[in-house]
Amino acid sequence: MGPGPSNVAPSVLKAMAMPLVGHLDPVFIKMMEEIKTMLRAVFQTQNLMTFPVSGTGSAGMEFCFVNLIEPGDEVLIGVNGVFGTRMCDVAERCGAKVTKVEAPWGRIIEAQQIADALKESRPKLVAIVHAETSTGAWTPVEEISRLAHDAGALLLLDTVTSLAGCPVKIDEWQVDAVYSGTQKCLSCPPGLSPVSLSPRAMEAATRRKTKVQSWYLDVNMLAAYWGQERVYHHTAPISMNYALHEALRLVLEEGLENRWRRHERNHLALKSGLEATGLVLAGQEGHRLWPLNAVQVPNGVDEAVVRKKLLNDFNIEIGAGLGPLKGKIWRVGLMGETSSLPNVKAFLSALGQILNESGRKTNAEATSAAAAA
Amino acid sequence: MGPGPSNVAPSVLKAMAMPLVGHLDPVFIKMMEEIKTMLRAVFQTQNLMTFPVSGTGSAGMEFCFVNLIEPGDEVLIGVNGVFGTRMCDVAERCGAKVTKVEAPWGRIIEAQQIADALKESRPKLVAIVHAETSTGAWTPVEEISRLAHDAGALLLLDTVTSLAGCPVKIDEWQVDAVYSGTQKCLSCPPGLSPVSLSPRAMEAATRRKTKVQSWYLDVNMLAAYWGQERVYHHTAPISMNYALHEALRLVLEEGLENRWRRHERNHLALKSGLEATGLVLAGQEGHRLWPLNAVQVPNGVDEAVVRKKLLNDFNIEIGAGLGPLKGKIWRVGLMGETSSLPNVKAFLSALGQILNESGRKTNAEATSAAAAA
C-alpha cells in the first residue's frame, strides 16, 4: 500500500514465469501488436506511436523530453511536487530554457497560472503532472491543454499514478505526449513505461534539426522497431512484456470505467474510515487522487515509527512524505490490485492499533511523569 | 539458440513470479547489496560502482558514454560489427569527436591498429567490443588496455555476449567501464544491464564540467541510490532484480571457470559436428567466441528458409547475419542455459535434415528439369 509498486495479480506473476521466446519470434511480435492495441484502449487514444519504453517511468519521462526538445527550446513546466521538479531537471539536460509555474506541494497547478505564464513566453512545450505521486494532487488537464494549444505549444502529461486508476483521456484532452509506469494502477511489476505521442508530437520529433541525444530513447528508431518494419533496435524485455500483456488484459476485462469507480470507492472508504478515527487526508479539497492518498500525520506522532510497525507487525507498506511534506504525511497507495476494501480495512485497523498503543504509552508516560513530580 | 535471449533456468523463472515488495523494502535493499557483490565476482572486479542499470544492454552502453563523455571529448572506437557501429552513434550523440578503427565484420580489432591510431590522436576514451554478437569475433583486451592507458585514455568494454560465457577479467585487464546484458550467458531475461566503473572512471564522471545529459542514467545519482544513502532515484525493476539475483547465484554455484569450460566444450562440439557434415564456422581462426557461433551458409542455400524451418518444425531459433553478413551466416547462440550438448546435437540433427531435404529437392528439381528438357 505504498506509492508503488502495487500488488500484482497471480496471472501476471505467472506470465512473468513463462519460458522466453526470442524478441523477433512471430509469437512475440504478435504480442507486441496486442500490447500496443491494449495500451491505446487504456490511454483512450488512436495514436499509432503508443508502446512501452524499455525502462521505468522515469525513462518514459526522459523519452518524451529528449524527443521533443532541442537545445534552446522553451518549455513551461508545472511544479507542485517531486515529479514536476524532476521534469525541469530532465528538460534542462536537453538544453531547454525552462520556465516553472509553481504551486505549494499538495496543491494543483491552476489553469490561470498557466494562462498568466503563457502571456510572457512562447514555449514549444507545456508539461504538467496529472497525478503527483509525491503529494496526491490531481491537476485537471482540459483547460491547460486548451491554453497550451492556443499558444501553439505541445502538451506533455505525466500519468504515472493516474493511468487505469482514474480517468485519462489522451485524445479527448488533446495530449501530445504522455508517459506512465507499469507498477501503479496497471498492477504490473516496474520495468516498463507506457508512452504515447500524438501525430503532432511525432512531427516535432521527426522534423528535428539535431539528432535525439539519447540513442536508447530515440523515437525515430523505436518507431521502426515497434512498427511494421521490425528494424532491430534493442532486445525488448520479453518477460516484462508478457506481464504487461496480461496486466492490460485484466484492466480491459474489468473495464476502464469499472476500474476507475473501484479506485474512487476505495479512496472514499479510506477517507471515511480515517475521519471516523479523527484523521484527515492532506491536500486540496476536490483535487485528491483516488490511487494515492496523502494522510496527515497527527501532531506528536513519529511517522517513521508508525511506518516501521505497519511493515514489521502488520506486513503493510506505506510511503513517507517527501521534500517539504517529509514527516507531515503518509502516502497510502490504493492502486490496481491493491485498491480493495479488505486492504483499506486492514490498514485502518492496523493504524488504529498502532496509534492507540502509542497514545496509551504517551498517556502512561505522562501519568508516570506526573506521579514522579 | 539465437543470439539471445538465451534459455532461462526454472529457478530464475520462479524468482520472476515471486510477489512484489517495495523498492525501499529492507528485504529488497539487502537483495540489491547481494546483487552488487555477486556482479563484482562475475566481472572479477573490486569496483564499488558495480550494479545493474534499469534497461537493456543498449542502455548500459549509453550509461557508459553519457557519464564519461562531455561535448568535444575525443574517443577512439573499434568498429567490426553492429555494436561498434552503435557505439559511434551513441558517442556522437554525447558530442564526442569519434575516430573509428575499423576491421572487416567477422575479424577482430588488432592491437596494432589501436597503437597506430593512438599515434594520431589523444582520446579521453578507447572503446572496443569484447564479443561482437553480430559476428562472433572475440577481440583480446589486454594489449589494447595497455596501449589505451599508456596514452592516458580510459578503456571501455562491451561484454554483452562474453560475461559469464568466457573469461572477463575487469580488474586484471584494467578496464575502466564495462557493460553487459542479462539475456546472454547470465541466462536471465532481458531488461537489465550489469555495468561497472573503475575508480578512475568514477573520477571522470564526478569531475565533469557539464551535467550528464541523461537524468535516468546519471551515475552521480545512481551511486546515491545503489549506495548506502539509498536516495530515491527511480523505482528499480523489482522482479527483474529477483531474477538477476537467482541467475547470478546459479553462475557462482557452477563456478566461473566451470561455466567458461562448458561454453568452450559445447562450442567445440558444434564446430566438430558442423565439420563432420561439411559445414564450417565463419570468422577469424583463434578468435571465435564460444557463446556465439557464426556458421557459414552453404552456397545456394536460402538461409531464411532454413531458419524458418528450424523454428517451425524443430522449435529451434537461430539468428540471421546482419549488415555485410546478411545471407552469409547463421548465428547460433550457445549461451548460459542454452549451452548444452543436447542442444548442440538437436541443432546439428535438425540442420542436417533440413539441408538434406532441400538438397534432395534441388536434385529432384534438377532431374525433373533435365527430364522436361
d(CA A49, CA A28): 18
Q: Quick check: B69 and B124 in contact, CB under 8 A?
A: yes
Are A96 and A137 in contact by the 8 Å Cβ rule? The answer is: no
Return the pLDDT at B2. Answer: 96
Cell of A205: 520529433
All residues of chain A having their beta carbon less than 8 Å from the beta carbon of residue B19 are 7-8, 13
List pLDDT tens digits, range A322-360.
999 999 999 999 999 999 999 999 999 999 999 998 876
Please indicate whether, in this complex, the C-beta atoms of A21 and B235 are within 8 angstroms of each other. no
Q: What is the largest CA-CA distance in chain B?
A: 82
3-state secondary structure of A345: helix
Average pLDDT over residues A145-169: 98
What is the spatial distance between Cα B170 and Cα B147, in angstroms, rounded to a whole number? 16
Q: What is the mean pLDDT of residues A284-291?
A: 98
Domains of chain A, CATH where assigned? 10-254 (3.40.640.10), 256-372 (3.90.1150.10)
Residue in A with minimal Cα distance to B192: A237
Q: Contacts of residue B189 in chain A, CB cutoff 8 Å?
A: 20, 237-240
Answer yes or no: do B234 and A90 touch at CB < 8 A: no
| Residue A105, SS3 per DSSP | strand
Reported as half-sphere exposure (CB side, CA atoms, 13 A), residue B147 has a value of 21
> What pLDDT tens digit does each residue of chain B (373 aa) get?
999 999 999 999 999 999 999 988 999 999 999 999 999 999 999 999 999 999 999 999 999 999 999 999 999 999 999 999 999 999 999 999 999 999 999 999 999 999 999 999 999 999 999 999 999 999 999 999 999 999 999 999 999 999 999 999 999 999 999 999 999 999 999 999 999 999 999 999 999 999 999 999 999 999 999 998 888 999 999 999 999 999 999 999 999 999 999 999 999 999 999 999 999 999 999 999 999 999 999 999 999 999 999 999 999 999 999 999 999 999 999 999 999 999 999 999 999 999 998 876 666 666 666 666 5
pLDDT at A363: 64
The answer, as to whether pTM is greater than 0.90, is yes
Of B13, B17, B24, the CB nearest to A19: B13
Mean pLDDT of chain A: 96
pLDDT over 90 for what percent of chain A? 93
* Mean pLDDT, rounded, for A365-371: 64
Chain A from 47 to 66: CB within 8 A of any B CB? 54-59, 61-62
Q: Is the dihedral of CA B166, B170, B176, B177 positive or negative?
A: positive
Instruction: State CA A176 to chain mean position distance.
Output: 17
Whether the CA torsion A299, A302, A307, A312 is positive or negative: it is negative
Q: Which residues of A touch B183 (CB under 8 A)?
A: 20, 235, 238
Neighboring chain B residues of A24 at a CB cutoff of 8 Å: 2
ω into residue B5 within 30 of 0, thus cis? yes
Residues constituting chain B: 373
Question: A16 and B211: CB-CB below 8 Å?
Answer: no
Q: What is the 3-state secondary structure (H, E, C) of chain B?
A: CCCCCCCCCHHHHHHHCCCCCCCCCHHHHHHHHHHHHHHHHHHCCCCCEEEEECCCHHHHHHHHHHHHCCCCCEEEEEECCHHHHHHHHHHHHCCCEEEEEECCECECCCHHHHHHHHHHCCCCEEEEECECCCCCEECCCHHHHHHHHHCCCEEEEECCCCCCCCCCCCCCCCCCEEECCCCCCCCCCCCCEEEEECHHHHHHHHCCCCCCCCCCCCHHHHHHHHCCCCCCCCCCCHHHHHHHHHHHHHHHHHCHHHHHHHHHHHHHHHHHHHHHCCCCECCCCCCECCCEEEEECCCCCCHHHHHHHHHHHHCCCCEECCHHHCCCEEEEECCHHHCCHHHHHHHHHHHHHHHHHHHHHHHHHHHHHHHHC
Q: How much is the pLDDT for B169?
A: 98
Q: Mean of the pLDDT values across residues A150-160? A: 98
Locate cell 559476428: which residue?
A: B135
- By CA distance, what is A12's nearest residue in B? B17
Cross-chain CB nearest to A189 (options B61, B92, B238): B238
Q: How many CB pairs under 8 A join A and B?
A: 167
Integer Cα distance of A280 and B3 in angstroms: 56
Contact (CB, 8 A) for A166 and A141:
no
